[in-house]
Amino acid sequence: MRCIDRLRKMPYSLQRPLRRVYGALPPSLAYGGTFWKTYDFLRESQYWSREKLEEYQLERLGGLLHHAYDNVPYYRRIFDERGMKPGDIQSLQDLRRLPCLTKDKFRESFAALVATNSNAAGLPMAHTSGTSGKHLAIYRDCAAVQQELACVFHQWSRVGFMPGDRRVEIRGIMIRSRKRYEYDRAFRALRLSPLIEDVDTAGYYLRLIGDFRADFLHGYPSAIAQLAEFVRQYGLAVPFRLKAVLLASEVVYGWQRKIVEDVFSCRVCGLYGMAEQVTMAGECESSSHYHCLPQYGITEVDAESGEIVGTGFLNYVSPLIRYRTDDIASDIVAERDCCGREYYPVFRQVEGRVGDYIATSRGLFGPATITHYFKKLNHVRETQLIQSDLDRIVVRVVPRGGAGDGARAEELERLRRDLLENLGPHLHVEIEEVDELERTASGKFKWIVSDVSGDILEERFSVGAPAAGPSMVNRAGPGVRDLI
């Protein structure tokens, strides 16, 4: 009964009264023993030395590897094929002797990756989302759910969030009914649909948030930035004061952070995590750099591509070891002077998934580069880039109401020329005006959807790479420590 995820699987008629009971409980009882054990441990260990954190990681890794060898057929085979035993991994560097696990491999070997000593059939599943249709689902047990929540709340505590605090969420559900919200009593969260298509909806949301009297707004950067855009464009009044905006689940672009900070006049705090639970990273009190949580798992960053590779300590039902996330960490921060935590690695931002890159004959272009050409647009409300092959990009735009067609056409033609000039003259750039942009089933938005960049990166980094995958480094300051 302590696992809130089990509750989510129940029929809604049963969920409602149970959620009411949860909501009435004080946080000390509602979140469960594993939550509090993890939360207290994170508070206690957050200022441990690098050596002590590494020692802890090695101990957790040992437990995970023994479990994987004894109970997970896929990993038993991986060890056997190499003539290795878990005891052969004596250091974090030794972990590199095991191969990386790609998403395709995970999908292919799904059943063999489930621990035989777990009662997986009765467990809830966490789903990843993606506009490319490559969805993944993974089992999670109650302990992993509670530990995950404790890690998220630990990250949010940097900006004053306490377990039990109320928050408004703009994420996760697409409610198309007139009401457009639901109240989750168990989590004390007012949940709003992330699709904000007009100024009336924006005004309605502002009133709902004000009436709910929450100190924290949590959700997709695309949706919260959209709300902020409407506030700015139409001069809407903001009838509340927030302690922080907590962004999650999508890449955070600089312009989104800026407009949200300006409009809501509060700290904006990003969190990076995933349903597969292999790594988690968040900002600290005094810096917007993403600090990976060493107590959560081991995070490696590919030296060449910057891809994040993680080994998670939480999930014992489907353990993932050296899992390739497809996410790119940009600008590893070796020297830092912020909060005193020795968390590692630390990076400036998550640049996007490999599919978030545009690949042309001139090279790979990340969102931070491309977004530059879109900054000057005044007559469109939203944009999205779709790349189906190497020499063709479709830019979808949602026109902003009130602008003259002529001015918009002129602006879009300038954008087209800018893209050609910078991404490659042989590119075919098509502009398409639409009423609404493509989102995932949960309303998540991807700005760049490229069917080709993933394959190109895959090719580039797998050719000639050693059996253990591309060279990985785990960088942390001071200095760079190579895991090879």
Binding residues for Zn ion (CB under 5 A):
284, 287, 338-339
Contact indicator for 224, 217 with CB cutoff of 8 Å: yes
CB of 336 to Zn ion, least distance (A): 7
Structure tokens at 454: 């993933």
User: 405 CB contacts (<8 Å, ≥6 apart)?
Assistant: none
Q: Which of 336, 283, 349 is nearest to 479 (CA)?
A: 336
CB of 475 to Zn ion, least distance (A): 15
Nearer to Zn ion, 155 or 277 (CB): 155
Exposed/middle/buried for 239, CB within 10 Å: 0-12, 13-18, 19+?
exposed
Nearer to Zn ion, 287 or 305 (CB): 287
CB of 55 to Zn ion, least distance (A): 21
Nearer to Zn ion, 284 or 483 (CB): 284
Structure tokens at 225: 């930035």
Nearer to Zn ion, 186 or 268 (CB): 268
Q: How far is CA 381 from the centre of its chain?
A: 24
CB of 268 to Zn ion, least distance (A): 16
Nearer to Zn ion, 270 or 355 (CB): 270
Q: Cα–Cα distance between 157 and 217 in angstroms, integer?
A: 14
Nearer to Zn ion, 224 or 301 (CB): 301
Q: Which of 324, 315, 373, 375 is nearest to 353 (CA)?
A: 324
User: 161 CB contacts (<8 Å, ≥6 apart)?
Assistant: 153, 167, 215, 216, 243, 244, 246
CB of 287 to Zn ion, least distance (A): 5
Nearer to Zn ion, 333 or 358 (CB): 333
Nearer to Zn ion, 109 or 287 (CB): 287
Contact indicator for 472, 462 with CB cutoff of 8 Å: no
CB of 343 to Zn ion, least distance (A): 7
Q: Cα–Cα distance between 16 and 400 in angstroms, integer?
A: 40
CB of 283 to Zn ion, least distance (A): 8
What CA–CA distances, in Å, run from 213 to 164, 196, 224?
Answer: 14, 20, 17
Burial 129-157 (b: 16+ CB within 10 A, else e): bbbeeeebebbbbbbbbbbbbbbbbbbbb
CB of 92 to Zn ion, least distance (A): 21
